[in-house]
Amino acid sequence: MTLGGWTLVAALLIVTVVTTLWCVWTATRLDRLHLRCAVAAAMLEEQALRRAVAAQELSHDPDLDLASAVLVGDAAHGVLHGPDGDFWQAQSDLTAALHAVDPPPGAGPTREVLDAARRLAVARRIHDDLVTSTRDLRSRRRVRWFRLAGHAAAPQTVGFDDRMPPYDVGRR
């Protein structure tokens, strides 16, 4: 073999090694992003359930009027015991119920609802950012060409109303 032939073989070997290393690195990165998405989804659901439990405690507050207690209690019950397919819709309904009531000022359950709502908003932001990053990486042409995403389903963002309740806990 001539010098030019060896140069071509060496160049092809280098391109193959670099491409293989890039594929391994990208597949590992994609796998880690998928795992982080799964953890973030579990944390999001945990924070959503935490807010529902706090809302249920608020509905048992003796200072809350009966209509508000029933409204918030039913919405919290829908989240905690409703069908699984309607979980995020039930969360939106709970948000609407929390916006419709005027809880007693300075009550402990009101603070817990506000804290849980803040944590839920942060968990959703983290989850949706990770999903966006994962989907961006999956959509790259070379990732599709080399099928680096494997058979994993693309993660999805969640859509529900997670506005903060308009309570002023320092009114008293």
CA atoms within 13 A on the CB side of 105: 4
Percent of the chain with pLDDT over 90: 82
Fold of the CATH domain 3-145? de novo design (two linked rop proteins) (1.20.1440)
48 within 8 A of 121, measured Cβ to Cβ = no
Using a cut of 0.85, tell me whether the model's pTM lies above it: yes
Pairwise CA distance, residues 171 & 160, whole Å: 29
* The dihedral sign for the CA sequence 72, 101, 97, 130: negative
Residue type, 107: A
Q: Where are the domains of the chain?
A: 3-145
| Average per-residue pLDDT for the chain | 92
Instruction: Read off the pLDDT of residues 111-169 as tens digits, 9 standing for 90 and up.
Output: 999 999 999 999 999 999 999 999 999 999 999 999 999 888 999 999 999 999 988 65
CB neighbours (10 Å) of residue 147?
Answer: 10
Instruction: Read off the pLDDT of residues 19-69 as tens digits, 9 standing for 90 and up.
Output: 999 999 999 999 999 999 999 999 999 999 999 999 999 999 998 999 999
Residue type, 92: S
For 42, phi then psi, to 5°, come to -65, -40
Instruction: Read off the pLDDT of residues 97-111 as tens digits, 9 standing for 90 and up.
Output: 999 998 877 778 899
